[in-house]
Amino acid sequence: MTGNLTAIEVSGLEKRFGSFRAVKGIDFTVGRGEIYGFLGANGAGKSTTIKMLCGLLEPSGGTALVAGVDVAKDPEGVKRKIGYMCQKFSLYEDLTAAENVEFFGGIYGLAEKRLRQRRDEAFELLELTGRRDTFAGDLPRGFQQRLALACAIVHEPEIIFLDEPTAGVDPIQRRAFWDLIYSFSAAGTTIFVTTHFLDEAEFCHRISFIADGVLVAENSPAGLKELLSAWRLYEVRAADPATLLPAVRRLPAVHAAALFGDTLHVMADAAAVPDRLFAGVSGVTAVEPVAPTLEDVFLHIAGKKS
Ligand SMILES: Nc1ncnc2c1ncn2[C@@H]1O[C@H](COP(=O)(O)OP(=O)(O)OP(=O)(O)O)[C@@H](O)[C@H]1O
Ligand SMILES: [Mg+2]
């Protein structure tokens, strides 16, 4: 490890399945206590990377130090230092919430007294105390998610890996889950989290985008938005925005345009005058400058690639 402020250090990490390279030699470091978001489309290589970092999948090349342990040389050593909530988190549905946490604590080798103490602490923290005797299979999805997190943290890991932890959870529960993630980070725990939700990525200290096994950008949310600072972003309204897209893209001052909800988001030369910019496109009902979101950044990066 390069010093105890580094939690994860990845260099040239690669995974091949036969002749297919799912992860193509990626490099990044994550600092202690950092919330690091790992973003990418379906099949980009997020889960494959997480599994290598958790000692569950042997890398085909490169190195990864996780909490100072080389994942290829000592996968069992890594597992003791980390918590992992997998994409399809697996609880024992016919065990109660309490029994699930006790089971995982047992796997991690916690002695009985410590296990009971940690179980009660985790239940208190994750507001599960009232559900401790409910069968996991009978819990609502949001509670199952928190129970899976309780199982992942029962042994007080230094680093928590969360693979799409909020998929299938409503916005209020998602927000509450992120409050928990912040509290872990504030206490010094490192969080490595994948998500499809770009609004959630805004909550991360740093983000990297992975596309087809390659890291294409890495920065803070604000730093990523700086990538768009050479242009001005406009929200364009029209009765049927999709039909305007080809004409808007042909405008000389327009760098990129994409559908964004029921509007168009258009990146144009900063010097262009908005009133004149869209004058030649019929059907535009309103034009308003807006601040870029991470979704705009993502579209920009994805567009550059194709
Ligand atoms: N065991 C395996 N054998 C062969 N190919 C695999 C295996 N596991 C994953 N892949 C392939 O590797 C690529 C990356 O998969 P991975 O699960 O890491 O993607 P992901 O970014 O997590 O996607 P998602 O957002 O859908 O969860 C995909 O093309 C996938 O089909
Ligand atoms: Mg995945």
Burial grade of 29 (CB within 10 A; 0-12, 13-18, 19 or more): middle
| 66 Cα–ligand 1 center, Å | 21
Going by pLDDT thresholds of 50, 70 and 90, the confidence category of residue 298 is confident
Q: Tell me the percentage of the chain whose pLDDT exceeds 90.
A: 77
Delimiting residues of CATH 3.40.50.300 domain(s) in the chain = 6-95+157-217
141-188, pLDDT tens digit by residue? 889 999 999 999 999 999 999 999 988 888 888 888 999 999 999 999
Going by pLDDT thresholds of 50, 70 and 90, the confidence category of residue 304 is low
- Whose C-alpha lies nearest to ligand 1, atom 9? 48
CATH topology assigned to domain 6-95+157-217: Rossmann fold (3.40.50)
| 70 Cα–ligand 1 center, Å | 23
Going by pLDDT thresholds of 50, 70 and 90, the confidence category of residue 199 is confident
What are the CA-CA distances from residue 61 to residues 14, 25, 88, 283 (Å)?
A: 5, 8, 26, 54
- Whose C-alpha lies nearest to ligand 1, atom 5? 17
> Rounded mean pLDDT of the chain?
92
- Whose C-alpha lies nearest to ligand 1, atom 16? 45
- Whose C-alpha lies nearest to ligand 1, atom 25? 42
Strand 284-289, strand 69-70: pairing: unpaired
Residue 39: nearest ligand to its CA?
1
Q: What is the mean pLDDT of residues 289-301?
A: 89
Going by pLDDT thresholds of 50, 70 and 90, the confidence category of residue 303 is low
| 48 Cα–ligand 1 center, Å | 6
The rounded distance, in Å, linking the Cα atoms of 225 and 204 is: 14
| 179 Cα–ligand 1 center, Å | 29
Which of 3.30.70, 3.30.230, 1.25.40, 3.40.50 is the CATH number of 225-305?
A: 3.30.70
Strand 6-17, strand 69-70: pairing: unpaired
| 212 Cα–ligand 1 center, Å | 10
Structure tokens at 289: 């400058």
Confirm if 105 and 118 have CB atoms less than 8 A apart: yes
- Whose C-alpha lies nearest to ligand 1, atom 6? 17
Task: Read off the pTM.
Answer: 0.90
Pocket-forming residues, ligand 1, beta carbon under 6 Å = 17, 20, 22, 40, 42-48, 87
263-284, pLDDT tens digit by residue? 999 999 999 888 889 998 999 9
Going by pLDDT thresholds of 50, 70 and 90, the confidence category of residue 232 is very high
Nearest ligand 1 atom, CA 164: 27
Delimiting residues of CATH 3.30.70 domain(s) in the chain = 225-305
